[in-house]
């Protein structure tokens, strides 16, 4: 699976480690001044960790995201990033996504092995006769 994805409008999103997601969540909690602000601040902090421009981090902090983008832009980019994250790392209770991921992996695995096995079989042609 790719670790980065084009999110449109010149933004690239990268997958975050669990630690980075926790750090973004904690930063969002600290930034929010009330329950009403929590989702927007959490999304802004998530984007501060995940968004890239020209391969470099686009923002230093969630506060900078809040200054630079509108609430609508933050919500839209956060949704695109979450869709990408779920595509790459589906929740165990999302059976369709898990089945899709397993199929993708097994297809890649089989195609990788079939190429390797084919090359090996070329070197070792099957024996004929009763010597088996």
Domain ranges of the chain: 4-89, 91-126
Q: What is the pLDDT of residues 40-87, one digit of tens each?
A: 999 999 999 999 999 899 999 999 999 999 999 999 999 999 999 988
Q: What is the pLDDT of residues 94-125, one digit of tens each?
A: 676 567 667 766 665 555 555 555 555 556 55
Fold of 4-89: rbstp2171 (3.30.2220)
Q: What is the pLDDT of residues 15-30, one digit of tens each?
A: 999 999 999 999 999 9
- pTM score, two decimals? 0.68
**C-alpha torsion sign, points 105, 107, 109, 111:** negative
Q: How far apart are CA 119 and CA 117, in angstroms?
A: 5
Do residues 69 and 7 touch, judged by C-beta distance below 8 A?
no
């Amino acid at each position: 699976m790719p670790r980065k994805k084009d999110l449109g409008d010149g933004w690239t999103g990268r997958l975050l480690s669990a630690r980075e997601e926790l750090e973004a969540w904690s930063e969002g909690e600290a930034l929010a001044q009330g329950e009403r602000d929590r989702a927007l601040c959490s999304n802004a902090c998530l984007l501060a960790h995940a968004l890239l421009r020209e391969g470099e981090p686009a923002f230093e902090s969630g506060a900078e995201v809040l200054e630079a983008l509108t609430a609508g832009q933050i919500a839209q980019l956060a949704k695109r990033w979450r869709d990408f994250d779920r595509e790459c790392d589906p929740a165990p209770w999302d059976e369709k996504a898990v089945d899709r991921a397993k199929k993708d992996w097994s297809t890649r695995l089989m195609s990788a092995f079939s190429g390797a096995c084919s090359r090996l079989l070329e070197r070792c042609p099957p024996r004929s006769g009763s010597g088996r």
